[in-house]
């Protein structure tokens, strides 16, 4: 499914033959957003022929399960995003207009909690960001794409008519969606604490484990996205304007906050598990103490009754008038002595 | 609630119409402090129109729950604070006076212990620091704002009439407030140690866990504040003078000390929990040993009484004159043998 | 076993006398791939005399058990790959043609799961990468070498006739093979979780330990391979063309993904073991509780029967008509009292 | 208490009026050491007026509980020690002679073991290091100050008459004092190992914990001191001569060695605690096994005696001639069967 | 003990008066190796006067217990090895020939396993490496020194007649000796695994602990040696030729491999201990289960026999003809009921 929107001097239109895109890209004061859901072979050909994207970027965009990343392509050639490229050998084989060929290929992940599966669901969204176009490629129906598209077309939209504002607005929506997830984790951690320190609950350990799994899978998305924004903030390609930096920095700050939350909650969960184990071991200890004392007292009492249950013919006590009472008081005396002894040892 | 104080050549006044601020900002030898508590829409308009702050900074200042950070704005454009901005493309669209537009937006956190909730309370304070103004925005009533304001207006105040001294004095007050919290943690850790090594206390584990939570939440404030001061120390904007560096370095040193304390106490708490668990397991071990020995001795004695309680007709011992004594001495002999055996195995 | 393939202007041939290789290396538009399996002394002489490789590189290539690495040789001299070489002292003693002497020596590892041994098997592959040649040296029969060779010779192969495409294609095949291993680990972790939270299984701990061993041995391969690709991406030798960077970056991204997966699974396994231990300790706790309660109830009941089994002559109860019932109801009453007591303490 | 020593061309004198210090500082071939113990207000005035130190540095020097640090002051302005100061704006307001105003303010810690308190005692020493003077400020009586002072004044002292040699000699003495502490920790760890693997000792856990506390408090001193020496080695102020670097490097190497020792011992202590817990759990295991077997055998034997203690009228065995022996052999048989069973299960 | 070998144009001689060394050092095409075992005062004077080494380096070389390190001396002044020395102030006081005064002082450690003490033994070796000399200083008899000396003097030795080849050959021999140690650790870890998962062994925990101690002491040697090679690879002194880099890089790679092995084995040992504890806790769990069930069944049976052992006059069952059988079948029924109950709870 393909949605193509052209904004020319503030006027929006959707009527453009696909083969006219390549011409439109050169027009000044024009911003083009092409959204492709579940790309068909036809869509892929469009990306290759009209936009001239690198085959690898197109392959990544249509294949699932890439990790969040940003690749900077310039002159049809990937710039190594990990460090400045020092060699400036003349690249004579490329003569395409620079405005068209300098673009970022970005992969970010939408994340939302699916109550049905009690699990965090993530879905990749691929962005091609050029000087005056934005191409989004994804499989499912992404709420943020729809929302940003309609917010963009509202009259007097704060998004302006630059690609930078569009990208910021989109990334901001994606990252802001991580916070409800964090809040949910915070709530669960709060619940777990109550559970742990109040009453016993076998589910608690399973919850700690599944929360940890969720946090680890969030971290695998968020950590590389932080790097993505770091690269964009360096502005090595002439795509974002200086004024966009404040907005990208804002998204960056939010991602850093999410990362810190994840690390703090991981720490807290480990502490919670440790505390839980301590409390359990302590509980066990208490019960074993009571067992020791009660069973030893009962055994001592049983020994007395066993003693007077022996069939020796010559046991003078057996003939005492108050034999039962004598035995009972003997039991009581031994019990009292043991209780005092255990109290002295600090076991009661 | 708005407090506006102007210091012109050492004289303080509070009389200035809000719309005159923008003119005052250009006056030499003038320092302006505007404090806004619980900002109204009117206040926000003032920040936007008179000071010309970036919309994002204003949004962050009026929204709660940002993490400590510093953003450096120059020529109405955010400088990327994570690395030097190499590109020096002429930014012709901005022609505002530089003195007005170069400013830091800083978020720091006040932290204090709330005995009522037995919990560390934190509250963000937002600062806009320009060459000759300081704007503080916050929700609640911040003691440090009040104190610094009144100390500033005292005759012969050491704060001087520069923004650098004001900011240093304010940050110093905020950071110095972390030390009583650290002292409290130190006291609690000391107490916990005594508890752990002296007598049993189920509360101890809960205390360790809640202390750890407090330390983790402190770390989430203090670690980014260290980065804030690092950025200020680089003095990339012409706001702080060389002479201010010594003072900012002092605040930086204090924050580093707090950070190290937090890490050390986290380590100590983990060690304390480990030690506690070891002691508990050892305690359990001791009790189980006593149980083993006592119960086995009692069982052996019971077996003897049970033996002579059997109803066989032909047991010659039953007819002995001293049957009871015989059984008693048998029990004593078995008990002694077992005690010797257990001592030999090192269990007693 | 030696396989030599020459691609000249898109035409492939296998007929070349070994001593002609050195001449062929200077020919333009030629790509040579020499594959050596289980190198003989003859092969080693070929590498030394025709290609002029450094003795150390040849020694490493024929010796097993090197770790993944890349060494950049230029002018018969190793460039220090850890940092830029600043000294540019004229190296007059070397006058060989630069195209021939600038080459990378690369060691990577193939990894596959061997179901027979239930273990990850790894095998080193050594690559010499020059501007127009690729030499692969290995011991066993490496599937990826065979595959890449035949894919290269297919008509209209996307590999092109450059060394960069060959190397990328080969490394991509090697790294893509790590993903099935990761999937297998993911499946095993999933299985383990079910085992842990459902029923007891002594094998589970052994599985966790052996999975961890596999992950650690994978990490020892993958982590230095990431560094290898980092060095290649810096393109300090004039071997890869700018257009190759996108492809190498792609391999790099995949390796990073594998590394992150390994770390996440290591974390998860630790969490799984912790959770398992918690559940076990909890289980034990439950059983000890039941033991406490049941044994104490039985002991109390036994005490009652022991009491009425004493042989005192004067126990009026013994003459009661319903003696047995009396004892039974006494036992029932004590049992009920104890059950109520334990319920009150929350132990049932 | 104030000690002032002036070394002029190798001659030492102690006679100098305090107000003459500022003049002396400009004299060539002169080295001045001023030692202040428990600084009075008079001493503080001296530091401010004669030496012209920065108020913050003086405040830090007279206040306790700063962490080890170095601050480099130049032209009455603090140089940011964390990175090179790029801005070289003319600082016209300062016209003092550079030799006087460029100085380091250093805080290091003396550490020694106090057997009375069984605890590591630390005490800060503050140094002001200028081109031809050294000022030491401390509270207690510091052995290293006295020693270095007298060694300096010995004829043919290797300390030379430069400040660099004095500072090196002093720091070397301070750092060399850490090694006996490390040796003591090594001895204690060795002892603990023996305790742990030989016989049980409740004190061991407490010792591990208190050793860990000592190590953590040592780390809080040593880690920042390493940074201090790193800054001095960069020689950004014209105070140390190139020839001094070898000596400072030597002190640096010693500090690194102490740091590594601390980390290794922390690791070893954790391992020791883990091993101890393992051994304890294993011990418990053994005892529980013996309990299981012994109690079950005794219970089975008791059941037999109980059986023949029943009062049924019609039990033919009761009339057998050798009833007691029959019961005894029955008990022996059951015991033997159980022992064989438990041996088969590997529990004995 | 002193061994002096001079190689001049490939000819070796041992005849040189000590006081002639300083002249020989200036001769071209000469390589001198001086080996000093257990240095005497005479040897120390030789190092100071003939070679002109820095007093600190000589002190370090003759004192034991330095950690592995490299110091670069140039113009009688130590270059700070941690970063490039930017200041190039003319050092007029030094006029010695540069070839003589630029040298590395290196400390490395030989490590070998001593079966007698069941412990890793380490011994420091000190190297002074100049442009045309190598001085080795050590206490004991070092096999690698002897070996390298004799290999050097063999006809057609691959060591060439450069200092670089000598140093590489020597360091290579030292580092290659670490691998047998690693193999021994690998064997021990393999053994431990079998022990842990097969049968119980109290020694296992002690072995894990002592292996960990060995690994930690190895790490304290190997980690700084990696830094040593890093410094040598930077080639800041004109001692090693570009062609030597490949060989030093080779030694570096081996050290990195050893470091990684150490880390992996440390991880594995921790995992092994965790697994062991899990298995033990599980074992305990199983035994406790059997105890619970068996003791409760026996107690229930005892209660029945106790019941019929009561002396009530009016218990009709006692008069039944088959009283014993009745009691036996009652016991069997209760036992069966309990077994079924425990099976249902999953405890059997």
Per-residue pLDDT tens digits for A302-346: 999 999 888 887 777 777 777 788 889 999 999 999 999 988 887
Per-residue pLDDT tens digits for B202-236: 677 888 888 888 898 898 899 899 989 988 988 87
Q: Report the C-alpha gap between A314 and B318 in whole angstroms.
A: 8
Average pLDDT over residues C312-323: 78
- Tell me if E313 and C319 make a contact (CB, 8 A cut-off): yes
Contact map slice: B 297-316 vs D, CB within 8 A = 299-300, 302-303, 306-307, 309-315
Q: Please spell the DSSP secondary structure of C84-115, one letter per residue.
A: --------TT--S-HHHH-EEEEEEEEEEEET
Tell me how close the Cα of A319 comes to any Cα of chain C, in angstroms.
Answer: 6
Per-residue pLDDT tens digits for C45-70: 999 888 888 888 898 888 766 789 99
Q: Report the C-alpha gap between D230 and D81 in whole angstroms.
A: 10
The residue to which tokens 């005690």 are assigned: B339
For residue E228, the surrounding DSSP H or E stretch is: helix E203-234
pLDDT value at residue B334: 94
pLDDT value at residue D158: 67
Nearest residue to B283 (alpha-carbon basis) of A347, D271, E276: A347
Q: Supply the mean pLDDT for chain E.
A: 82
DSSP state of C118: T
Residue B288 has a CB neighbour count (10 Å cut-off) of 19
Residue E313 has a CB neighbour count (10 Å cut-off) of 10
Nearest beta carbon to residue C296 from set A80, A294, A317:
A294
Q: Is the predicted pLDDT of residue B286 greater than 50, yes or no?
A: yes
pLDDT value at residue D87: 39
pLDDT value at residue B78: 58
Residues of D in contact with E80 (CB under 8 A): 233-235, 245, 249
Q: Is the predicted pLDDT of residue B82 greater than 50, yes or no?
A: no
Q: Is the predicted pLDDT of residue C200 greater than 70, yes or no?
A: no
Question: Residue-wise over C102-136: b if at least 16 C-beta within 10 A, else e?
Answer: bbbbbbbbbbebeeeeeebeeebbbbbbbbbbbbb
pLDDT value at residue B98: 41
CB-based contacts of D141: which residues, under 8 Å, 6+ apart? D37
pLDDT value at residue E184: 87
Residue E229: pLDDT band by 50, 70, 90 thresholds?
very high
Q: Listing from the earlier edge strand, what are the strands of the sheet with A103-114?
A: A11-13, A2-8, A30-37, A133-138, A119-129, A103-114, A69-74, A77-79
Which site among C303, C343, C345, C347 would you substitute to test the A interface, given the most A Cβ atoms closer than 10 Å to its Cβ?
A: C303
Per-residue pLDDT tens digits for C12-56: 888 778 788 888 887 778 888 999 999 999 999 999 888 888 888
Contact map slice: C 50-69 vs A, CB within 8 A = none
Nearest beta carbon to residue E327 from set D245, D310, D346:
D310
DSSP β-ladder status, D2-8 and A77-79? unpaired
Q: Is the predicted pLDDT of residue C77 greater than 70, yes or no?
A: no
pLDDT value at residue A199: 66
Residues of chain D with pLDDT under 50: 82-100
Q: Hey, CA dihedral for D96, D99, D102, D104, is it positive or negative?
A: negative
- Of B49-58, D51-60, E82-91, the range with the lowest mean pLDDT is E82-91
Q: Report the C-alpha gap between B22 and B49 in whole angstroms.
A: 8
pLDDT value at residue E52: 87
Nearest beta carbon to residue C220 from set E253, E260, E281:
E260
CB-side neighbour CA atoms (13 Å) of B112: 12
Per-residue pLDDT tens digits for C221-232: 998 999 899 889
Query: B13 forms bridges with which residues in the sheet?
Result: B6
- Tell me if C309 and E314 make a contact (CB, 8 A cut-off): no
Residues of D in contact with B306 (CB under 8 A): 301-302, 305-306, 309
Whether A205 contacts A213, CB under 8 Å: no
pLDDT value at residue D127: 94
Average pLDDT over residues C274-289: 78
Whether B137 contacts B39, CB under 8 Å: yes
Q: Is the predicted pLDDT of residue E136 greater than 90, yes or no?
A: yes
Tell me how close the Cα of E306 comes to any Cα of chain C, in angstroms.
Answer: 5
Residue C97: pLDDT band by 50, 70, 90 thresholds?
very low
Q: Does A332 touch chain C if contact means CB atoms closer than 8 Å? A: no
For residue E78, the surrounding DSSP H or E stretch is: strand E77-79
Tell me how close the Cα of E202 comes to any Cα of chain D, in angstroms.
Answer: 8
Average pLDDT over residues C114-138: 87
Residue B200: pLDDT band by 50, 70, 90 thresholds?
low
Q: Hey, CA dihedral for A315, A316, A320, A322, is it positive or negative?
A: negative
CB-based contacts of D285: which residues, under 8 Å, 6+ apart? E280, E283, E284, E287
Q: Does C245 touch chain A if contact means CB atoms closer than 8 Å? A: yes
Q: Report the C-alpha gap between E47 and E135 in whole angstroms.
A: 9
**pTM, two decimal places:** 0.78
Residue C91: pLDDT band by 50, 70, 90 thresholds?
very low
Per-residue pLDDT tens digits for E285-294: 777 788 778 8
Q: Is the predicted pLDDT of residue C92 greater than 60, yes or no?
A: no
Residue A63 has a CB neighbour count (10 Å cut-off) of 10
The residue to which tokens 């020499």 are assigned: C34
Whether C209 contacts C249, CB under 8 Å: no
Residue B97: pLDDT band by 50, 70, 90 thresholds?
very low
Residue C86: pLDDT band by 50, 70, 90 thresholds?
very low
pLDDT value at residue E98: 41
Nearest residue to D215 (alpha-carbon basis) of D270, D280, D138, D154: D270
pLDDT value at residue D236: 78
- Of A281-290, C142-151, C213-222, D223-232, the range with the lowest mean pLDDT is A281-290
Residues A219, A224, A230, A231, Cα dihedral to 10°: -170
- Of A125-134, B133-142, C74-83, E213-222, the range with the lowest mean pLDDT is C74-83
Percent of chain E exceeding pLDDT 90 equals 19
Q: Report the C-alpha gap between B16 and B33 in whole angstroms.
A: 12
Residue B77: pLDDT band by 50, 70, 90 thresholds?
low
Counting other chains too, the contacts that B36-39 makes at CB distance below 8 Å and 24 or more residues apart are: B36/B1, B36/B2, B36/B3, B36/B135, B36/B136, B36/B137, B36/B138, B37/B1, B37/B2, B37/B3, B37/B138, B37/B139, B37/B140, B37/B141, B37/B142, B38/B1, B38/B139, B39/B137
Q: Report the C-alpha gap between B128 and B136 in whole angstroms.
A: 6
Per-residue pLDDT tens digits for D30-61: 888 999 999 999 999 999 888 888 888 898 88
Average pLDDT over residues C107-118: 84
pLDDT value at residue C87: 39
Name the closest residue on chain C to residue E315, using Cα atoms: C324
Residue E108: pLDDT band by 50, 70, 90 thresholds?
very high
Per-residue pLDDT tens digits for A142-163: 888 888 888 888 777 766 678 8
Q: Report the C-alpha gap between B267 and B259 in whole angstroms.
A: 13
Q: What is the ipTM of this complex?
A: 0.72
Residues of D in contact with E281 (CB under 8 A): 281
Q: Is the predicted pLDDT of residue A179 greater than 70, yes or no?
A: yes
Residue C214: pLDDT band by 50, 70, 90 thresholds?
confident
Size of interface A-B (CB pairs under 8 A): 155
φ/ψ bin of C245: left (φ > 0), alpha (ψ from -120 to 50), beta (otherwise): alpha
- Tell me if D71 and B277 make a contact (CB, 8 A cut-off): no
Q: Report the C-alpha gap between D198 and B347 in whole angstroms.
A: 14
Query: A7 forms bridges with which residues in the sheet?
Result: A12, A31
């Amino acid at each position: 499914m393909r949605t193509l929107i052209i904004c020319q001097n503030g006027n929006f239109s959707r009527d453009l033959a696909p083969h006219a895109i390549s011409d439109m890209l050169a027009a000044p004061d024009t911003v083009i957003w092409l959204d492709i859901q579940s790309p068909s072979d036809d869509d892929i050909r469009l990306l290759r022929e009209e936009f001239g994207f690198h085959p690898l970027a197109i392959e990544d965009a249509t294949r699932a399960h890439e990790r969040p990343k940003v690749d900077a392509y310039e002159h049809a050639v990937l710039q190594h995003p990990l460090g400045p490229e020092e060699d400036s050998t003349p690249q004579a084989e490329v003569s395409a207009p620079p405005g068209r060929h300098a673009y970022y290929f970005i992969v970010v992940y939408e994340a939302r909690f699916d109550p049905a599966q009690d699990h965090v669901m993530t879905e990749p969204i691929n962005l091609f960001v050029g000087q005056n176009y934005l191409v989004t490629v994804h499989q499912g129906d992404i709420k943020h794409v729809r929302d940003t598209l309609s917010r963009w077309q509202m009259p007097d939209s704060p998004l302006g008519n630059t690609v930078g504002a569009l990208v910021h607005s989109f990334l901001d929506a994606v990252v802001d969606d991580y916070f409800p997830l964090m809040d949910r984790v915070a709530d669960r951690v709060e619940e777990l604490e109550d559970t742990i320190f109040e009453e016993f609950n076998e589910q608690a350990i399973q919850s700690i484990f599944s929360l940890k799994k969720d946090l680890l899978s969030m971290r695998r998305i968020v950590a590389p996205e932080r790097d993505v924004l770091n690269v964009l903030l360096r502005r090595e390609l002439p795509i974002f304007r200086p004024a966009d930096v404040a907005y990208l920095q804002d998204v960056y700050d939010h991602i850093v906050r999410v990362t810190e939350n994840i690390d703090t909650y991981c720490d807290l969960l480990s502490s919670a598990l440790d505390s839980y184990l301590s409390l359990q071991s302590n509980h066990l200890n208490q019960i074993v103490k009571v067992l020791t004392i009660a069973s030893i007292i009962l055994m001592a009492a049983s020994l007395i009754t066993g003693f007077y249950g022996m069939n020796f013919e010559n046991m003078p006590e057996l003939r005492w008038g108050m034999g039962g009472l004598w035995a009972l008081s003997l039991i009581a005396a031994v019990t009292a002595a043991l209780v005092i002894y255990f109290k002295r040892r600090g076991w009661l």
